[in-house]
Amino acid sequence: MDEEARKALVLRLFDIGAVKFGTFTLKSGIESPVYVDLRVLVSHPDVLDQVANALLSAVSSVEYDTLCGVPYTALPFATLMSSKTGKPMLMRRKEVKAYGTKKMIEGVITPGQRCLIVEDLVTSGLSVFETVEPLEREQLIVNDVVVLLDRGQGGRKNIETRGKNLRSVLTLAQVLDVLVAAGKVDTVTADRVTAFIRDNQVTVTDKLEAQVLPTKKAKLQRTPFEDRAKLCKNAVGVALFSLMARKKTNLCVAADVVEAKALLDLADAVGPQICVLKTHCDIVRDWTDETGTQLRFLADKHDFLIFEDRKFADIGNTVVQQCSGGVHRIASWAHFTNAHALPGDGIVDGLRTAAGVENHGLLLLAQMSSAGNLLNKEYTSACVEMAKRHTDFVFGFISQERVIEGSEGDAFVYMTPGVKLSQEGDGLGQQYNTPTAVIADRNSDIIIVGRGIYKSDNPAATAAIYRKQAWDALA
């Protein structure tokens, strides 16, 4: 931005009351001779437009794929910049939704993309990191921050020492120079402001950082899987926790392919990466007893468990037949299966009768990934209570997050479907989260990935990528 444009912008900011001089008590209780309120800009579209142009010219040499404004004041800045450049925008939620998908970042997330942070005002620089953190957790690359006004109180240093480049359109010192030259502010006031800035430098201490950045506050303490194996009461659950600890994987592949050969080939290819292979035997058009036998052979060869995702939902007497009989004879080859809690305890009793607790286990569906599903909080709690009544057989949940806290919850495993590196849905209601979001933010144990892996060009290599992300997210 040239000198004239800068001057014009400063004068307009002063005219509309975005920068004021006098005596103001800040949130911290400190008295300041200057007050900057950039929220008023939304009432002045011409200034907003000037600001967006100025921010864009400040980042003309920066390479980025997407941009994200720090809420709320910088959101309209980012929106205009996105519209002018055609680059997509992401939005960070200030409050995480208490229901539904609990996303921190809205918009289409493409891991590996470079995201530019747009901020209105930098004082300490810490609020920038409240936005950087969730973006980096989603595997976006954040190198650059652009701000309209740097107050000059140490924010630049705080941002740069954390490895980010800061570009600012204006500093408060520049604003003062323009306003003094234009006769809008007298030199006594300008000197007071300069002295204030000098005397109020903000250094970010660990304590301050922990107050501002929530994830620094309470780093999740996870009980190791080998210890959870000792808490679990079902033999298959014990085997699963031990396997995860031994093989160092918390990846389950949903092998939703429709031919037996394709299923076995996929199982053989991803077998080295997974702790669980999840099947839907009723979508395999040429299923025979031999398919089950071969799957068991591959499970032994690669050290994984087989989970038939049958989602039983009938009365006890019927599920006995469905689990042990029919064409699929599920209990003869699957290590564990799952059920809806809807029919009541009889469904658990029926499946226990059909399969036995020695070599089989059961998960309950406590939450689902699909949009508009009817499994509300009360239902989830009722599922949890049901599981606690049957710990000899029920060893975990299909859920979107950990549903039982504390050591009591450590005895159960939490498996989460709806996982993909890119979060676009499938047009049929499926909703996706990234491996990191599921494991690190929602404290789940195992990611279940279907199309993200079996539809990729190289399922074995893709499985290795998901495996690493999910395992690293436990740390």
Binding site feature residues for substrate: 256, 278, 369, 430, 450-451
The strand pair at 105-106 and 413-416 is best described as unpaired
Q: For residue 366, which of 387, 345, 392 has the smallest C-alpha distance?
A: 387
Catalytic residue among 7, 102, 157, 311: 311
**164 part of the active site:** no
Identify which of residues 37 and 282 has a Cβ nearer to ligand S5P in the complex: 282
Question: Which amino acid is it at 306?
Answer: I
What is the smallest separation between the CB atom of 346 and ligand S5P, expressed in angstroms?
22
Give which of 411, 444, 417 is closest to 432, Cα–Cα: 417
In angstroms, how far is CA 359 from the centroid of its own chain? 35
Contacts of 468 (CB under 8 A, 6+ apart): none
435 binds ligand S5P, rule: CB under 6 A: no
Per the residue annotation, which of 37, 268, 314, 349 is the catalytic one? 314
Q: For residue 295, state whether it binds ligand S5P (rule: CB under 6 A).
A: no
**Candidates 30-38, 174-182, 186-194, 446-454; binding stretch for ligand S5P (CB under 6 A):** 446-454
The answer to whether residue 256 forms part of the interface with ligand S5P (CB under 6 A) is yes
Q: 233 with 392: CB under 8 angstroms?
A: yes
Q: How far is the CB of 448 from ligand S5P (least distance, A)?
A: 5
Contact 302, 272 (CB under 8 A): yes
CA distance 382 to 471: 30
Question: Which are the contacts of 321, defined by CB distance < 8 A and separation ≥ 6?
Answer: 354
**DSSP readout, 243-257?**
HHHHHT--EEEE---
| Closest-approach residue to ligand S5P (CB) | 450
Among 155, 417, 435, 459, binds ligand S5P (CB under 6 A): 417
The distance between the two most distant Cα atoms of the chain, rounded to a whole number of Å, is 91
Query: Does the annotation count 303 as an active-site position?
Result: no
Residue with tokens 């208490």: 98
Based on its alpha-carbon atoms, the radius of gyration of the chain, rounded to whole angstroms, reads 28
Active site residue 311: yes
Q: Is 144 in the site for ligand S5P (CB under 6 A)?
A: no
Q: How many CA atoms lie within 13 A of 257 on its CB side?
A: 19
452 lies in the site for ligand S5P, by CB under 6 A: yes
The single residue among 398, 411, 440, 470 that binds ligand S5P, judged by CB under 6 A, is 398
Residue whose CB is less far from ligand S5P, 113 or 367: 367
Q: Residues at the annotated binding site? A: 256, 278, 369, 430, 450-451
Cβ 398 to ligand S5P shortest distance, Å: 5
| 276 touches ligand S5P (CB under 6 A) | no
Point out the catalytic residue in the list 120, 144, 309, 441.
Answer: 309
Residues 359-388 contacting ligand S5P, CB under 6 A: 368-370
Active-site residue set: 309, 311, 314
Q: Interface residues with ligand S5P (CB under 6 A)?
A: 254, 256, 280, 309, 368-370, 398, 417-418, 430, 448-452
